[in-house]
Amino acid sequence: MHEYSLVQSLLKQVSEIAAANGGGDVEWVRLEVGQFAGVEIELLQIAFQELAPKALGLPVELLVIPIPLQVKCKDCDAISEMNDFHFSCKACGSERTWIISGEEIRLIDLGLTESNRRTQEYSK
Ligand SMILES: [Zn+2]
pLDDT per position as a tens digit, 68-122: 999 999 999 999 998 777 789 999 999 999 999 999 999 999 999 865 554 444 4
The rounded Å distance from CA 112 to ligand 1 centre is 45
The rounded Å distance from CA 15 to ligand 1 centre is 43
Helix (H) or strand (E) holding 3: helix 2-20
Q: For the chain, which domains are there?
A: 2-8+28-122 (3.30.2320.80)
For residue 103, give Cα distances in angstroms to 48, 76, 90: 20, 22, 19
Contact 78, 91 (CB under 8 A): yes
pTM of whole model > 0.85?
no
Question: For residues 75 and 115, what is the distance between their CA atoms, to the nearest angstrom?
Answer: 55
The rounded Å distance from CA 92 to ligand 1 centre is 4
The rounded Å distance from CA 71 to ligand 1 centre is 10
The rounded Å distance from CA 38 to ligand 1 centre is 26
